[in-house]
Amino acid sequence: MDQGKINIILLSSRLSIKANSGELIMLMFRAITLVFLLIIPISLFAQAPADTDNGLKAAEELFDQGKNDDVIAKCKALIESNPSDRKAHDLLGQVYERIGEYEKAEKSYTEYLSLSKEAESERDIASAMNNLAIIYSKTGNYVESIEYMNQSIAKEKGFNNRNRLASRYNNLGGIYKRMGRSLKAFKNYSKALKLYTETQNKSQLPLLYNNLGAIYDVFGQSKKARELFDKSLEILDQSSKTDTAVIYNNLGSHYKSVKDYDQAMDYYNKSLDIEKEYGNRPNF
């Protein structure tokens, strides 16, 4: 065989090897891609972050409208798609708390706290502790309630957010009020009022004045209580239905204490109407 034929054969062999190598590389690439797709958690494809955010926003709007059953369904769907969605667990806890399902609320808030710790989100940890403290106070577990609220307050102090800190002091005052420790309640309400006044957060002042008025009633200072109740009504923004219901309820208690039963009944009924509208469990 002459040299020319040998060269042609060698060239053909090299081309064949290159072709086979190219096909082999393509097959390997496809195989790797398939394996990669198979090992990616399906949940990553189930719901994109934007869809999750939109779903949570829709659930929050339903919550504001008092559509409790729809909120529960929406939150459960979000959690099914992404079990680590701590905001959905939080909102689910809020709606369960609203309708008086405290055991379910505690479970949702506990999951919210656990996920927040995993994510090392200190703000969410503080928020979850606040929520659990309120649930514990409503179920009579006051030791844990105060412990969790104090932990929440300690964390909030580190964030330099006076409005959130004021909210925690207000809630701690509410816990002490439930326990019948009026002086402790008064001190914490006063701390909250000071902070809200400093930040000029007028939206929270009606409820604070009202809470303080309720404490003055307990102290037997009806005149001072009435002044604070009137001040509360003057600046009340009735768009906050939950606060309005609490304020009317406290006014009912005030008028009951001074034996003005017609006025007391009027305010109790106003409070009850709002609670019914939003499917809330009445606070009295």
Residue-level pLDDT at 236: 84
Looking at the chain, how many residues does it have? 284
Q: Are 201 and 166 in contact (CB under 8 A)?
A: yes
Exposure string of 270-283, with b = 16+ CB inside 10 Å and e = fewer, is bbbebbeebebeee
How many other CB atoms are found less than 10 A from the CB of residue 115? Answer: 21
How many other CB atoms are found less than 10 A from the CB of residue 208? Answer: 25
Name which of 189, 274, 278, 262 is nearest 232 in CA terms: 189
- Which amino acid appears at position 185 of this protein? A
CA distance 235 to 246: 15
| Secondary-structure class of domain 51-160 per CATH | mainly alpha
CA distance 132 to 146: 10
Q: Helix, strand, or coil here: 82?
A: coil
CA distance 97 to 112: 14
What is the topology classification, in CATH, of domain 176-284?
1.25.40
Exposure string of 71-84, with b = 16+ CB inside 10 Å and e = fewer, is bbebbeebbeebee
Q: Are 167 and 155 in contact (CB under 8 A)?
A: no
Residue-level pLDDT at 79: 98
Tens digits of pLDDT across the chain (284 residues): 555 554 444 444 554 444 455 555 554 555 444 444 444 444 444 455 566 788 999 999 999 999 999 999 999 999 999 999 999 999 999 999 999 999 999 999 999 999 999 999 999 999 999 999 999 999 999 999 999 999 999 999 999 899 999 999 999 999 999 999 999 999 999 999 999 999 999 889 999 999 999 999 999 999 999 999 989 988 887 656 777 888 888 888 888 988 999 999 999 998 898 888 766 655 54
Which phi and psi (to 5°) does residue 240 adopt?
A: -90, 90
Q: Tokens 């309120």 belong to which residue? A: 134
CA distance 207 to 171: 11
Sorted by where each begins, the domain ranges of the chain are 51-160, 176-284
CA distance 72 to 93: 9
Q: Helix, strand, or coil here: 237?
A: coil
Residue-level pLDDT at 54: 86
Rg of the chain taking only CA atoms, in angstroms: 30
Q: Are 45 and 74 in contact (CB under 8 A)?
A: no
* Same fold flag, 51-160 and 176-284: yes
